Chain A
Amino acid sequence: MRLELLAVVSLALCACPAVTELPDAGGSGGGSATGGGAGGGGGSIDLDAGITRSAKGRLRFKGNERFTVDLAVGLGGTVDQVCKELGQYDCSFFVHPVALGGVEPYGVGLYEPPSVTGATTSLVVERVVLSACTARINADLSNPAGALIFKGVPVSGGKLSAVDGPGVRALIVDLAQRGWLRDPSEAEVAELVQLARDVEVAQPNDAAKQWMQAACFAVFSSAEAVFY
């Protein structure tokens, strides 16, 4: 009887589908993509080699402190400059700490962070990111000589002079390195370039700045930037 049971279990295990899934060849532009990646030494990642899905899926939201510090560091500012509601109430540590996965021990006795993201978390993340990105862009555009991130992108009549130019590409690479701590893949660069074209159609009079905001927003509010 035990041998029978063992045989059945063994057969069942053998029949389990493999957890590794090959990505759709068209999903990444139909070819291999390069990416430095942290620790990658600037080498390339062949996405066609397949990506093994995490079986355990131990993914954690960063929480208000890590998220805010990472954002501040990524955009070359301080935590205090990241986001203030109505220009004066700190988003991450006063108004929305629990929505961002933090605690509030002194006021309401919440000593442990929430175990899951809440219904409002994604919106608060977007607010904080948008606020921080806008502040950095305003600072850089108002002082081109001392600009930190948003520089070297030719603008004409409110539009990017060359959407496919090296300035735009360099800015995308810089944003990815700051937000994801790795180089972007070709597909990711293409996605953000396409975003520039889309923004130009949607807001032709102020397309360059609004694309900068949109690209910064897309990178720093991505799942890769807010989970670990």
Chain B
Amino acid sequence: MSLKGNGRLSRRELMQALAACGAGSTALAPFLSGCRGALDTPEALEKRGGRRDALDGKPKFLITISAAGGASIIDAMLAVRGSESSNGALLNTFADAQVQLVPNSPFRAVKYDSGSLGSIPIPVHTDQLAFVNKHKAQMLVATSVGTSVNHTIAQKRALTGNAAWRGRTLQECVALQWGAGFPLPNVNMGIGGYAERGTDDSLPGSVYGETVVNPSLWPLGLDGSRGIQGAPAKNVIELARASRNRLDAQSVFGQTFADADAMKRWNEQRAVSAPRLEALDLITNLNVLPNLPPQLPLTSYGLASSPDGARVRQVLPEYFTDPVQGQAAMAFLLLKYRVSVAVTLGPDFNVAVGGSSGIANPPLAFDFSHNDHRAGQAFMWARILRTVDVLIDLLKSEPFDATSGETMWDRTLIYVATDFGRTRPRPSGVQTFGTGHDLNNGFLMISPMVKGNTVLGGVDPNTTLTYGFDARTGTALPGKHDSNEPDIFSGVLTAMGADLTGSGLPDASAFKKA
């Protein structure tokens, strides 16, 4: 083959070369692929992202709890006693008695008592020990260093691993992996950055989150006509829909915009998604509300409560006034009725009235720490852990597969996402102090699928800063303080057994139960 004077191939030569390559690759491909396969070791597979669970066609579920405002891990499972630190009086360490060691576990549990929550005159009495003792075998804490202390940006990065996989969120990855056949694979009840969709526009439209802002009343929108007094009979509604669709197809407007993406999507949603939602009777099955006139006159409107309504209301009694309880109730029902594989919930920044003290949610959620760090963290951690505990109990009581004996919980991972950590310094010995935003922190995951009773990384008691770890082996790396957002992202998906082929994600085998 000759080259032109400028060193380039002529067009004829280029075509000949391509043809030769094509023929050669066809003939040699089986041999080459066989050679490559022979060289595969488990380690090599892992490095290529090829390690995954067998895709048995059964779904797995991700519940993301968005701990908005900055849930500090050293105010929970990695708390430090004052006596352990050379700078205890100047850092966020606790009196020794407040940090309870948990037998046979690397975790700790904070016990906190105060007469007020900052300037809010309500008592705060919390104790994390019961939760840790109950769930430690399925808890994993991974230390972290983020890359933003802006709430919205950090929230989103907690879900994308800072664009670790083309900007997809964890929920989108799970919806893509296990959500086929689910009517709403990804339902998002979070706030701010937790509610944003990822930036990978190549995904199917169905995997992006369906936003829900009012979970207790939202199921009413899952049927086009039921629950409307005086509505025509269902068969008339179907006739009207068919007539409308024909009108759309023949109108000048409909024909002009027939090729518009928005119109194509709309037609698909009307023809496929909507009938499916109605057929599942979700207006009933997801309806946690009881018939309680005059505020909730279900019966008068031809509606009924979910068959699971009573037991959900029993464990989440403030479902109508406390947004987090309403979201948790909806999360459980969405999973139970196979509507979704990824659900996101969490507190918002508004005050919610309720609970035994009269305040269910302080302003700014975890970010109330600016005002009163200790009480704010203790109050909010108790709120998050209680929600997690209720969800686990509900899912454990729900059979998934009668033949295997699995429960819903056996196939679920709860990821407590948070914005960032909090700054560590405090005035010497002061118990009531405020903190700012800090990149250094850690994440809590709970699932039968994670390597339980495990802390990946650790905390330096003299600085109360966490240090990193090797995401593949789990080896703690004191002195490692660089960002590891992709490790956390990969860790969630690896623990769940997702197919990470081609993702380029780091090997995070240390997160996964052996």
Binding site for B on A (CB under 8 A): 23, 27-28, 35, 37, 45, 47, 51-55, 57-61, 85-89, 91, 94-99, 104, 106-110, 114, 116-124, 126-127, 130-131, 134, 138, 180, 185, 187-188, 191-192, 194-195, 198-199, 202-203, 210-211, 213-215, 217-219, 221-224, 227
Contacts and interface: CB of A to CB of B under 8 A. Distances in A.
- Among B191, B217, B244, B260, max chain A CB count under 10 A is at B244
Contacts of B205: 116
Contacts of B350: 106-107
Interface in B238-297: 239-241, 243-244, 246-263, 265-266, 269-270, 273-274, 277-278, 295-297
A145 to B, nearest CB: 21
A130 to B, nearest CB: 5
Given A107-B350, A109-B192, A94 B269 contact: no
A213 B235 contact: no
Task: Return the 3 tightest CB-CB contacts between A and B, nearest first.
Answer: A57-B260, A126-B224, A214-B240
A213 B230 CA distance: 10
Interface in B485-512: none
Contacts of A58: 260
B298 interface: yes
Interface string B195-228: 1000000000110001111100110111111011
A120 B236 contact: no
B257 A118 contact: no
Contact of B221 (A23, A51, A96, A211): A96
A54 B236 contact: no
B243 A218 contact: yes
Given A57-B257, A97-B213, A119-B206, A202 B263 contact: no
A85 B226 CA distance: 11
B229 interface: yes
Contact of B255 (A23, A88, A96, A219): A23
A188 to B, nearest CB: 6
Which secondary structure dominates chain B's binding surface? helix
A130 B236 contact: no
Given A54-B256, A195-B243, A222-B244, A127 B225 contact: yes
A87 B213 contact: no
Contacts of A211: 236
B301 interface: yes
7 contacts: A27-B249, A59-B260, A60-B262, A95-B217, A109-B192, A117-B262, A218-B247
Contacts of A45: 252
B349 interface: yes
B363 interface: no
A210 B236 contact: yes
B213 A122 contact: no
Given A87-B301, A222-B248, A110 B211 contact: yes
